[in-house]
Structure 1
Amino acid sequence: MRRTMDQSTETYDYIVIGAGSAGCVLARRLSEDPGSRVLLLEAGPEADQFWVKAPAGMARLYFHDQMNWNYFTEPMPQLHGRRMYWPRGKALGGSSSINGMVFIRGHRSDFDTWKSLGNPGWGFEDVLPYFKRMEHNERGADAYRSVGGPLWISDPVIRHPASTDFIEAAARIGIPRTEDLNGELHDGVGFMQHNIRHGKRHSAYMAYVEPVRARSNLTIRTGAFVRRILFEGTEAVGVELLEGGELHRVAAAREIILSAGALNSPQILMLSGVGAPQELQRHGIAQVLASPGVGQNLQDHFYVHTSYEATRESSYNHEITGLRKYWQGLRYLLTGKGYLALGSSQAAAFVKSRPEEPYADLQISFRPMSFTYRGDGVVEVDDRPSIAASVYRLRPAGTGTVTLRSADPREAPAFQPNFLSHADDVRAVIQGIRTIRQILGTEPLASRVIEEKMPGPQARTDDEILEYMRAHGNSAHHPSGTCKMGNDELAVVDERLRVRGARRLRVVDASIMPHVTSGNTNAPTMMIGEKGADMIRQDAIARRT
């Protein structure tokens, strides 16, 4: 057996690759044992910029050249050959440092389905304690929520009247009200909560790592680009990384945990020789372990945006444009409140696209403002009073792939999400747009609307709405599933998140989801980090000698 490490190599007990939503949780929990040395590696920079901390700063981070991987998909035939922009966080906190801060766990049946697919310990009652351990909910504790955890969960500092009217209008067409979208009743309409603390983004890094960064047994390296995992046989022994323009090797005495996210974790595995044999051969990569599911089962939420010109008091566009934006900036700096302290969406409705669905398969999100993505990378608030709603199918039938372009780690992988490739996804999203129109056409919201701008009156038939979806639909930026957990031939990890066929190697991030959860994915990804850390400590693999 070839030795890839030697006695002089720098060694840690655990190496965590990726300081994102799961990786930060792992670093905090694994370093709670003072006898374990933990190394957290992040390819991006620190995340202490003002626009990271200010919730409204997410617009400035959408195309950031240092804190974002700025990925694009492959051309998609179903979307007229469009290449879709796919932002991914590249900084301490990962995507939790650039996202919209929406805190949605998902439906209890999501996790019960994971369990039914051969993953004991992942049902809703199994994962609920980890969700509760994570959070400090400003509303207090109950059977579903908790206080005292690292992550602050808060209500919007401003509950805009138009958002209240959205909830009322949805209720009038039969959607039940819920006081807590993460509580007993998930299917319904209500205000969202966000991971915002005292007016500032509370990312995974800010919640989990920043308070314990001084621990002597926790080492954090930014600008550390992992090229591959090093193996002796099928045992993971270390990582090879670029840091400051120099190549380094670092050894792991116990385990390597891959938490680079659903787009980068499969890439790193394949570059390391773990993947489908034909994919590795295509790029001349020596096979360490045949794992045909690596990069398969890619799932994401296909997102369709609608906007409506509205009465002035129905929108806060005018508050964050022109001269008034400077007043809002001063207000935010002095108080931590105002419109710059809000997350991306105010309210949401979880509804069925048809009666026979077992539980809600559509998420409709509402915001009393609107914006446009410009071609030069600027996200710009619209200058006219407008409100907006979006919809996506929660459990898409279509799946895609992550594959390599080359054996060069610096070259982005090829992403093919296959949006709108399944008839059920098309049907459901069309119904979602019709449901948005129904809600926006119901009082008390209807009298706030002046005119539908997007899709507009030219999109009335199913075919016309589908054409709008093909031309304007986007990603909700919730990729998952590419190193899925299970026991079938495409399962990459087992229920303990250990890479099947390998030793001392786990994947702990959104890529292990057998199916994407019903809602925004940041909260369940952090839960995976909490549960993964517990399993690693319970298994307590002996140190390599």
Structure 2
Amino acid sequence: MAHPTILPVRTLAPAYDYIVVGSGSGGCAVARRLVEGSDATVLLIEAGPAGLDVAALDDPAAWVPLGRSAYDWGYDYAPTERVNGRTIGIPRGKVLGGSSSINAMMWYRGHPMDYDAWEEAGCEGWSFADVLPFFKRAEDWEDGETALRGAGGPLRIERGAPVHPVADAMLGGAAELGIPVIDDPNGPDNEGAAIANFNISGGKRCSSATGYLRPILAHPRLTVLTGSLAVCLGFEHRHCVSVKHLVEGRLCETRATTQVVLALGAIDTPRLLMQSGIGDPAELYWLGVDVLAALPGVGRNLQDHPLVQSCVFRARQPLGPVVGNGGGTMINWKSSAALPQADLHAFPIQGNGAEARIRELHDLSGEVFSIGCGLMRSKSIGHLRLLGAEPGARMEIQPNYLAEQADLDALIISVETVLDLVQTRAYADWFGGHLAPAPRLSRREIVAYIRNACSTFFHVCGTCAMGAGEMAVTDARLRVRGVEGLTIADASVIPIIPTCNTHAPVTMIGERAADFLLRAA
């Protein structure tokens, strides 16, 4: 049996050239490129454990229980009447690799128009043509390098093989509904049904910790410190010069001579900024925190894709052992033919994938399969608020799911399409009847089902958005406005949520952040 990897033991130095706080998809990329591309010393601080060579993290089929495990921060979205007062869990990785170590391993960059929209929103240099080289730099695609795909990068990307028959039925069913079957959802256009791309190598998860960090763990200029919670940033004359963090329960201040890079994610990066006096002055005053930099956009613009979790069906035969991550394929399609790009997404689940309230309301016993569906061009915008300034204080994390009628209208179409999908000939060997929801629902009944089934794709982002307006927190080079020596390299800088899982975009952001820093050095 494999034993967990033990990190090199290094004495914590008083100062480093760079301090990277957070070891998720962005932070691992930044640390790797800084070490390889310069002669700088780098400290990578992670609040969670190392988690390398832990069977539960490596096994693609075991990812679902990792939410609410020792490797999860345990955050929740605040309830609203739009989701019938339910509290929705929002798993975030608390381990080396961050959420890339506990997620569903999907590698998916969305549509080129997603990034062109970033540039149009004031993020100069973030068009798809600008970001494509950085997506490619991260990739080790199983089919090798093409104009759109990369090879030899830190993250192995493979199609799910073999594909479970209930996942394969999604491809045939989509074709019967007039949705094209495409070879690669990261190809020229993402509209259609396809075998998914996964960060899986040799049957094991390839997280950012595995791909980016493991090869350089022994490098003498890299120190990886786990079990260390960052609680505040230190400034001298508005220049970020240090990170205050807990080491074995004691507060320690470590200095950065060149730059501090925040990569704690869309929840904890704004938290750390506000605890350090960077944010909306009114919020900071309420918290009793002195204002260092007035940036009202900190904690605003929170975005996440709403997921209907899920539609559940009786299976005509046993599904057998779980293959891959329990999914295997995907569909992207338009809720309206007039749209310029696909906005809806669905994926198979080899078993019961229903939200807790749906399990309470429906008998889902026996052999079942599920299809999750959701909206990838959601319009509803939420926020994050600190309810206390001390480390570990409660937060109000509010995505405002279904606040925009357009989001609800699109989700209705997604559910209707899934109910049509299982009636196709491709599902003849598998579909044995509707369990949740019931067939032939009225619009009102579908809305009621969506409100009970609404959950998260785990794609929270946008809370420290880059841009040029007064609500922008970083500039287009990911530098925090109003201060010096501070960069952000995580999902919080995303100005408009892309139509995809966020691991790939955040990895690209980390690659770009490192490139900006190395060019400035």
Q: TM-score, normalised by structure 1?
A: 0.90
SS of alignment partner, residue 289 of structure 2: coil
SS of alignment partner, residue 224 of structure 1: coil
CA contact 2:326–2:350 (8 Å) conserved in 1: no
Aligned to 2:333: 351
Aligned to 2:79: 75
Per-residue CA shift, 1:8-41, capped at 9, x if unaligned? 9811111101011110111100111452010000
Residue 446 (structure 1) shift: 4.2
CA contact 1:101–1:344 (8 Å) conserved in 2: no
SS of alignment partner, residue 392 of structure 1: strand
The answer to whether residue 396 in structure 2 is matched with residue 391 in structure 1 is no
In 1, distance between residues paired with 2:335 and 2:15?
53
Aligned to 1:499: 480
In 2, distance between residues paired with 1:265 and 1:114?
20
Residue number among 307, 311, 332 corresponding to 1:306 in the alignment: 311
Stretch moving more, 76-85 or 249-258: 76-85
* CA shift in 2, pair 1:374/1:469, >3 Å: closer
Root-mean-square deviation (Å) = 1.6
CA contact 2:311–2:354 (8 Å) conserved in 1: no
SS of alignment partner, residue 32 of structure 1: helix
Aligned to 1:46: 50
SS of alignment partner, residue 414 of structure 1: strand
Aligned to 1:327: none
Aligned to 2:443: 462
CA contact 2:477–2:516 (8 Å) conserved in 1: yes
Aligned to 1:274: 278
What code does the residue aligned with 2:343 have? D
SS of alignment partner, residue 56 of structure 1: helix
SS of alignment partner, residue 256 of structure 2: strand
CA contact 1:347–1:367 (8 Å) conserved in 2: no
SS of alignment partner, residue 197 of structure 2: coil
Aligned to 1:378: none
What code does the residue aligned with 2:334 have? K
Aligned to 1:520: 501
Per-residue CA shift, 1:247-299, capped at 9, x if unaligned? 10000100011000001111110000000000000010010000000000000
In 1, distance between residues paired with 2:38 and 2:451?
53
Residue number among 433, 444, 454 corresponding to 1:473 in the alignment: 454
In 2, distance between residues paired with 1:187 and 1:69?
34
The answer to whether residue 410 in structure 2 is matched with residue 405 in structure 1 is no
Aligned to 1:119: 123
Residue 388 (structure 1) shift: 1.3
Taking the TM superposition and a 5 Å limit, the aligned residue runs for 1:413-424 are 413-424=395-406
CA contact 2:353–2:372 (8 Å) conserved in 1: no
In 2, distance between residues paired with 1:516 and 1:181?
18
Residue 74 (structure 1) shift: 1.7
Stretch moving more, 399-408 or 168-177: 168-177
The answer to whether residue 142 in structure 2 is matched with residue 138 in structure 1 is yes
The answer to whether residue 448 in structure 2 is matched with residue 443 in structure 1 is no
**Which structure 2 segments of 5+ residues have no match?**
1-11, 358-363
Q: Work out the number of aligned pairs and report it.
A: 502
Aligned to 2:99: 95
SS of alignment partner, residue 397 of structure 2: strand
CA contact 1:233–1:288 (8 Å) conserved in 2: no
CA contact 2:107–2:199 (8 Å) conserved in 1: yes
SS of alignment partner, residue 154 of structure 1: strand
SS of alignment partner, residue 64 of structure 2: helix
SS of alignment partner, residue 406 of structure 1: coil
The answer to whether residue 511 in structure 2 is matched with residue 530 in structure 1 is yes
Residue number among 235, 242, 249 corresponding to 2:239 in the alignment: 235
CA contact 1:395–1:515 (8 Å) conserved in 2: no
Residue 164 (structure 1) shift: 2.2
Aligned to 2:8: none
The answer to whether residue 490 in structure 2 is matched with residue 509 in structure 1 is yes
In 2, distance between residues paired with 1:50 and 1:92?
14
In 2, distance between residues paired with 1:198 and 1:384?
32
SS of alignment partner, residue 312 of structure 1: coil
In 1, distance between residues paired with 2:402 and 2:480?
31
In 2, distance between residues paired with 1:102 and 1:526?
13
In 2, distance between residues paired with 1:423 and 1:138?
41
Residue 75 (structure 1) shift: 2.1
Aligned to 2:167: 163
Residue 367 (structure 1) shift: 2.9
SS of alignment partner, residue 417 of structure 2: helix
Residue 474 (structure 1) shift: 0.8
Q: TM-score, normalised by structure 2?
A: 0.94
In 2, distance between residues paired with 1:374 and 1:360?
29
* CA shift in 2, pair 1:374/1:364, >3 Å: closer
* CA shift in 2, pair 1:262/1:37, >3 Å: same
CA contact 1:102–1:344 (8 Å) conserved in 2: no
Residue number among 258, 261, 266 corresponding to 1:262 in the alignment: 266
The answer to whether residue 469 in structure 2 is matched with residue 488 in structure 1 is yes
In percent, how many aligned pairs have the same letter? 37
* CA shift in 2, pair 1:80/1:60, >3 Å: closer
Stretch moving more, 144-153 or 157-166: 157-166
**Which structure 1 segments of 5+ residues have no match?**
1-7, 321-338, 376-381, 541-545
SS of alignment partner, residue 159 of structure 2: coil
CA contact 1:485–1:492 (8 Å) conserved in 2: yes
Per-residue CA shift, 1:511-535, capped at 9, x if unaligned? 1111111011111111111111101
* CA shift in 2, pair 1:349/1:373, >3 Å: closer
In 1, distance between residues paired with 2:38 and 2:482?
30
Stretch moving more, 513-522 or 25-34: 25-34
SS of alignment partner, residue 145 of structure 1: coil
CA contact 1:364–1:391 (8 Å) conserved in 2: yes
Stretch moving more, 227-236 or 189-198: 227-236
CA contact 1:484–1:511 (8 Å) conserved in 2: yes
In 2, distance between residues paired with 1:234 and 1:374?
47
